[in-house]
Amino acid sequence: MKPQDRIILALDVDSEAKALNLVEKLADSVGAFKVGMQLYNQLGPSIVQRIQGLGGRVFVDLKFHDIPNTVAGAAKIMTGLNCFMFNVHASGGREMMTAAMKAVQEESTRLGCEPPLVLAVTVLTSISEQQLHDDMFISRRLEQTVVGWAQMAKECGLNGVVCSPHEIAPIRQACGSDFVIVTPGIRPLWSEKNDQKRITTPREALKIGADYMVIGRPITAASAPREAARRIIEELEE
Q: How far is CA 82 from CA 56, 142, 188, 222, in A?
A: 11, 34, 31, 30
63 is catalytic: yes
Catalytic residue among 2, 18, 25, 63: 63
In whole angstroms, the minimum distance from the beta carbon of 89 to ligand C5P comes to 12
**Residue whose CB is less far from ligand C5P, 133 or 166:** 166
Asked if 235 touches ligand C5P (CB under 6 A), the answer is no
**Residue whose CB is less far from ligand C5P, 158 or 162:** 162
Alpha carbon 24 to its chain's center: 21
Q: Which residue is nearest to ligand C5P (CB)?
A: 216
Contacts of 196 (CB under 8 A, 6+ apart): 185, 187
Coil, strand, or helix at residue 133?
A: helix
Q: How far is CA 226 from CA 30, 158, 223, in A?
A: 9, 33, 9
CA quadruple 224, 225, 227, 233: dihedral, nearest 10: 160
**Residue whose CB is less far from ligand C5P, 11 or 156:** 11
Helix axes 94-111, 68-80, angle to 10 degrees: 30
* Alpha helix positions (H), the chain: 16-26, 37-43, 46-53, 68-80, 94-111, 129-134, 142-155, 168-175, 202-208, 217-220, 225-237
Q: Which residues between 141 and 200 bind ligand C5P (CB under 6 A)?
A: 164, 184-185, 194, 196
How far apart CA 137 and CA 69 sit, in angstroms, is: 26
Alpha carbon 231 to its chain's center: 22
Stretch that binds ligand C5P, among 18-26, 111-119, 151-159, 212-220 (CB under 6 A): 212-220
**Residue whose CB is less far from ligand C5P, 61 or 107:** 61
Asked if 36 touches ligand C5P (CB under 6 A), the answer is yes
**Residue whose CB is less far from ligand C5P, 94 or 193:** 193
Stretch that binds ligand C5P, among 86-94, 127-135, 166-174, 210-218 (CB under 6 A): 210-218
Stretch that binds ligand C5P, among 13-21, 136-144, 173-181, 215-223 (CB under 6 A): 215-223
In whole angstroms, the minimum distance from the beta carbon of 194 to ligand C5P comes to 6
Residues near ligand C5P (CB under 6 A) are 10, 12, 36, 125, 164, 184-185, 194, 196, 214-218
Residues designated as active site: 63
